[in-house]
């Protein structure tokens, strides 16, 4: 029996009568993490991992009917035993483990296998069937080490500050921005943030994640010399907006897994690209899938066909799941 099937509303568990990350409003939803394509408004009930509560409420509203479970804590619903396990993607992100009549399925949500210090590291969970994302499911996607990426960001910022230029770094406001704050050398200069970034910083700080002090970019006067030493973190949607004018002469950069491709860098029209992703790269996906011991793999998001074909060649029963998840690594969802 299939513990999860694809329905028009989202991924559905027939014996449990609930949905995982539904893209249309449903009565009972289980949410893997608070990115806009996985956590949507309008569901009757929400169930999520406890460390994600602050983010979910800040994005979906304080009035949602939300129940939370600690990682590893079990809940029984209609004979289905449910638990959340760290996915290493963003604060509060979880894989969902479902057990019913001896059959175990794990739905990964989005995941990253490298620990980054801003959320609980990915934990492989043994299962019969693994539902895996594949946002970067092509052999060309291999991330540089995090140390290398952060050294690159620091060097770019330092060189701009020495030249008296502001450094504007575009990054997704939830997850990526906090990872950058956590990983950079905050002694280089002041750090300013866009209004979309700071509320999420506050949730991370409240969750015990160390982030250096930040100030609202909007509070700094246009001609303040501080701007010329500053790193400014802004969501991609701020690019090309009038908000940017206050920075005068600046260098800009974009932090995203897609920056690995020269074509994407050119299309974005930024000075620099840093290939920092919150998703597993190709070796990471294959490692995670192997760790589950699953003989069946359902693939969602991204480069589904290439990964499915590769897994079949490895002797696994691999299939594609049609979903409406996007690549929030590159796209800013509407608030």
CB closer to Zn ion out of 150 and 325? 325
Q: How far is the CB of 3 from Zn ion (least distance, A)?
A: 20
Q: How far is the CB of 244 from Zn ion (least distance, A)?
A: 26
Between CA 103 and CA 298 the distance in angstroms is 15
Question: In Å, what is the CA distance from 53 to each residue of 16, 39, 57, 228, 283?
Answer: 22, 12, 6, 37, 31
Burial 119-130 (b: 16+ CB within 10 A, else e): bbebbbbebbbb
Name the DSSP letter for residue 291: H
DSSP per-residue codes, 11-73? EEETTTTEEES-SS--SEEEES--STTTS-S--SEEEEEGGGHHHHHHHH-TTS-EEEE-TT-
Nearer to Zn ion, 35 or 165 (CB): 35
Instruction: Please count the residues of this chain forming the interface with Zn ion, following the rule CB under 5 A.
Output: 3
CA pair distance 153, 175, nearest whole angstrom: 17
Q: Is 59 exposed, middle or buried (0-12, 13-18, 19+ CB in 10 A)?
A: buried
Nearest residue (CB) to Zn ion, 35 versus 265: 35
Q: How far is the CB of 22 from Zn ion (least distance, A)?
A: 13
Nearer to Zn ion, 227 or 259 (CB): 259
> In this complex, which beta carbon is closest to Zn ion, that of residue 35 or of residue 228?
35
> Contacts with Zn ion in 16-45 (CB under 5 A)?
35
Binding mask 81-110 vs Zn ion (x if CB under 5 A, - otherwise)? -----------------------------x
Of residues 259, 334, 307, 302, the one with CA closest to residue 135: 302
CB of 223 to Zn ion, least distance (A): 39
Question: Which residue number, 195 or 333, has a Cβ lying nearer to Zn ion?
Answer: 333
Contact letters (x/-) for Zn ion, 274-313, by CB under 5 A? ----------------------------------------
SS3 at position 153: helix
Nearer to Zn ion by Cβ, of 89 and 165: the residue is 89
How many Å apart are CA 109 and CA 95, to the nearest integer? 6
Q: What is the DSSP letter of 122?
A: P
Q: Tell me the closest approach of the beta carbon of residue 87 to Zn ion, in angstroms.
A: 9
CB closer to Zn ion out of 172 and 274? 172
Task: Say how far apart CA 256 and CA 232 lie, in whole Å.
Answer: 16
Which candidate, 247, 243, 226, places its Cα nearest to that of 168? 247
Task: Kindly state whether residue 325 participates in binding Zn ion, applying the rule CB under 5 A.
Answer: yes
Residue 317: count of CB within 10 angstroms of its CB:
12
Segment contacting Zn ion (CB under 5 A): 68-76, 149-157, 216-224, 323-331?
323-331
> Whole-number minimum distance, CB 325 to Zn ion, in Å?
4
> What part of residues 105-144 is at the interface with Zn ion (CB under 5 A)?
110
Element (H, E) at 286: helix 282-292
174 binds Zn ion (CB under 5 A): no
* Shortest reach from residue 139's CB to Zn ion, in Å: 21
Instruction: Provide the minimum distance between the beta carbon of 333 and Zn ion in the complex, in angstroms, as a whole number.
Output: 10
List of residues contacting Zn ion (CB under 5 A): 35, 110, 325
């Amino acid at each position: 029996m299939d513990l999860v099937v694809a329905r028009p509303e989202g991924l559905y568990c027939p014996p449990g009568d609930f949905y995982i990350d539904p893209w249309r409003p449903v009565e009972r939803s289980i949410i893997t993490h608070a990115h806009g394509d996985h956590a949507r408004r309008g569901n009757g009930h929400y169930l999520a991992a406890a460390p994600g509560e602050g983010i979910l409420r800040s994005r979906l509203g304080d009035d949602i009917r939300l129940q939370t479970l600690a990682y590893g804590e079990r809940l029984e619903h209609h004979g289905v035993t449910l638990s959340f396990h760290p996915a290493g993607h963003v604060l509060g992100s979880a894989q969902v483990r479902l057990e019913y009549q001896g059959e175990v399925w794990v739905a990964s949500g989005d995941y990253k296998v490298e620990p980054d210090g801003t959320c609980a590291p990915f934990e492989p969970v043994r299962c019969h069937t693994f539902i895996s994302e594949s946002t970067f499911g092509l052999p060309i996607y291999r991330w540089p080490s995090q140390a290398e990426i952060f050294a690159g960001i620091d060097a770019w910022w330092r060189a701009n500050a020495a030249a008296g230029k502001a450094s504007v770094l575009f990054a997704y406001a939830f997850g990526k921005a906090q990872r950058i704050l956590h990983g950079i050398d905050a002694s280089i200069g002041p750090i300013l943030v866009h209004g979309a970034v700071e509320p999420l910083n506050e949730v991370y700080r409240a969750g015990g994640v160390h982030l250096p002090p930040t100030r609202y970019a909007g509070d700094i006067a246009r001609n303040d010399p501080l701007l010329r030493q500053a790193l400014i973190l802004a969501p991609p949607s701020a690019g090309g907006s009038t908000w940017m004018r206050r920075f005068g002469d600046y260098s800009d950069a974009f932090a995203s897994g897609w920056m690995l491709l020269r074509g994407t860098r050119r299309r974005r029209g930024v000075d620099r690209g840093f290939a920092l992703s919150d998703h597993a790269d190709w070796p990471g996906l294959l490692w995670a899938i192997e760790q589950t011991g699953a003989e069946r793999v359902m693939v969602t998001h991204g480069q589904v066909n290439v990964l499915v074909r590769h897994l079949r060649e490895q002797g696994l029963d691999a299939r594609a799941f049609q979903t409406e998840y996007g690549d929030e690594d590159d796209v800013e969802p509407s608030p």
